[in-house]
Each structure stands twice: as structure tokens, then as C-alpha cells.
């Protein structure tokens, strides 16, 4: 098991000016830096790759899906832009050595509406069409796309593991799998452990292990011991990452409803979260 933390905890958007975070994350004792790609052009990827190699950190790449990156939009230009963003991030993942690119790839975050069944079918068809294209692109580059369910306040499309499994099966591509964020699971699922077992080792490609209030892991009401036992049961041996938000951009704050500090400081949240991870997951660390 390897432990990581998202750049979202300190910087939004992450940019070349944020590269001191690489050293900070390494010094804290993390194995992985999860780079959130809000604007790829703000990042000197060649330099970042060099610094990451120097520190020995591994990289995972995550997405930020604003309104103009929606592969299920009724606007074909927005769908095209969303697919381009996904393929750009897959290319970045390949270059940076990330095994995955993850996020709510199916829609825009904050897109919550009451719509007809007919409209739902249309949007799902557009989504599946583009997921298949993304899957083929990812397969050629050895990358897995992790489709992440979000809670009902952040999307109206995929809230539960059952919905994610259904969508992944409909897309029917081996490079499209599921990543879980326990913050969202804690809202939408009856049981996080049973959700993990239901998805299983073959489909579960990544975990963002976050607390019930997006604060420091271990300080809320997530069933951490049950989650650990379920991961042991399915033989999960991939990344466990803290993904929460410190200095948020206006777009992220609005989409994720972040209106207050989630800890005394980002550094404290990261350090105490990692300490909790190591204590909790030590028994299944390989």
C-alpha cells in the first residue's frame, strides 16, 4: 500500500509556482503526489517530472471537471472539449508515470438538475460514447481511467457505486474502472466496506480516503476499520490518497461547496492524516 496526498490541499490551481510542494510532500513521508490538473498550461511538466524523479515520489493524476469539460453535455462543442481534456490528462499521466487518471469524468461537477428520463438517456448515451473513446485512448497508453461517483449535491449523474458499475459496464472498456472517494461514499452508500467488496479488486483502481467532513482522516464518522478490513478482503494493494481542499479557487469552492477551513492548516491535516493512514493500514501494507 502506498499513501499519497493531492495538491488540492495546498494549491488551486496547481502551477509551476507550486513546485515547492513536491519537496514538502516528500519530507512529510508520503509516497505519492496526486497532481490535480485544473489548467495544464500553468505547469512546466518537464521540470515537474525532473523534480519528482529527484525526490523519488510517485505521481497520480486527477481531473477538475468544470462546466466546459462535460462529455455528457447537450452542446457538442463542450463534449468535444471534455474529451480533449480527458485525453490531454491521459497523455500527461503516461508521461509522468501515473498508472491512472481519475475523477468524475462523466459530467461537470456542480451539474445538479431535475431532468426528464429522455434527457437522462441522451446524456448517458453521449457520456458512454465518449467514455469508449477515452478508454481506447487510455489503453493505447497503458493508463486506467478511474470513474468517481460524487455525492448528490455535486452531480445528478453518478452518485453511487451501483450507478458507477452500471456506467462502466455499459462503456464496456477494460481501461475504464472505478475510483472511490470515501467522503462521497459516506453520504451516498449504506456501507463503505460493502461498497468496496461489491466493486472488487478488478474494478477498484484508486481510493481517495477522505473524512466525512473532508477534514483530517480519523476525526469524523467514516467507518475506517471496516474500510481497512474490506480492502484486505479484496486484496487491494494500490494507492490511498488524501484529497481535500485548502486554498481553493472560486470555481472549486462553488462546485464542491467549500465555505470554511477544514482543519487548522493544510500541513496539519496532511501530517496527521498520514500518521492515521500508517497506523490504520499498517496491517495490510505490502
Residues forming the active site? 148, 243
Percent helix, strand and coil across the chain, each to the nearest 5:
50, 15, 35
Please state, in angstroms and rounded to a whole number, the distance separating the CA atoms of residues 106 and 120. 13
- Backbone phi, then psi, for 83, in 5-degree steps? -65, -40
Contact 167, 128 (CB under 8 A): yes
Concatenate the DSSP letters of all residues of 8-49 into one string: GGT-SS--GGGTHHHHHHHHHT-SEEEEEES-GGGS-HHHHH
CB atoms within 10 A of CB 280: 18
CB atoms within 10 A of CB 152: 12
Longest dimension (CA), the chain: 52
Please state, in angstroms and rounded to a whole number, the distance separating the CA atoms of residues 241 and 9. 11
234: alpha, beta or left, given left = phi > 0 and alpha = psi -120 to 50? alpha
C-alpha cell at 183: 467522503
Please state, in angstroms and rounded to a whole number, the distance separating the CA atoms of residues 172 and 47. 37
Please state, in angstroms and rounded to a whole number, the distance separating the CA atoms of residues 195 and 213. 19
Handedness of CA 94, 9, 152, 156 (dihedral sign): negative
Amino acid at each position: 500500500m502506498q499513501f499519497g496526498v493531492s495538491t488540492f490541499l495546498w494549491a488551486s490551481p496547481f502551477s509551476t509556482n507550486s513546485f515547492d510542494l513536491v519537496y514538502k510532500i516528500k519530507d512529510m513521508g508520503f509516497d505519492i503526489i496526486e497532481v490535480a490538473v485544473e489548467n495544464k498550461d500553468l505547469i512546466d511538466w518537464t521540470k515537474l517530472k525532473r523534480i519528482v524523479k529527484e525526490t523519488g515520489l510517485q505521481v497520480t493524476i486527477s481531473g477538475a471537471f468544470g462546466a466546459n469539460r462535460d462529455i455528457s453535455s447537450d452542446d457538442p462543442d463542450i463534449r468535444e472539449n471534455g474529451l480533449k481534456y480527458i485525453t490531454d490528462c491521459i497523455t500527461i499521466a503516461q508521461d509522468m508515470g501515473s498508472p491512472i487518471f481519475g475523477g468524475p469524468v462523466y459530467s461537470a461537477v456542480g451539474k445538479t438538475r431535475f431532468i426528464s428520463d429522455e434527457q437522462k438517456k441522451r446524456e448517458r448515451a453521449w457520456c458512454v460514447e465518449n467514455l469508449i473513446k477515452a478508454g481506447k485512448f487510455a489503453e493505447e497508453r497503458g493508463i486506467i481511467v478511474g470513474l468517481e461517483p460524487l455525492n448528490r449535491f455535486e452531480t445528478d449523474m453518478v452518485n453511487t457505486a451501483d450507478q458507477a458499475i452500471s456506467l462502466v459496464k455499459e462503456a464496456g472498456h477494460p481501461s475504464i474502472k472505478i475510483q472511490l472517494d470515501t467522503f462521497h461514499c459516506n453520504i451516498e452508500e449504506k456501507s463503505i466496506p460493502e461498497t468496496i467488496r461489491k466493486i472488487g479488486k478488478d474494478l477498484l483502481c484508486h481510493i481517495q480516503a477522505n473524512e466525512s467532513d473532508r477534514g483530517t482522516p480519523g476525526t469524523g464518522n467514516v467507518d475506517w476499520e471496516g474500510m481497512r478490513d474490506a480492502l484486505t478482503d479484496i486484496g487491494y494493494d494500490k494507492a490511498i490518497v488524501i484529497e481535500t481542499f485548502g486554498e481553493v479557487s472560486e470555481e472549486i469552492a462553488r462546485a464542491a461547496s467549500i465555505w470554511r477551513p477544514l482543519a487548522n492548516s493544510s500541513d496539519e491535516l496532511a501530517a496527521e492524516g498520514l500518521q492515521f493512514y500508517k497506523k490504520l493500514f499498517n496491517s495490510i501494507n505490502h
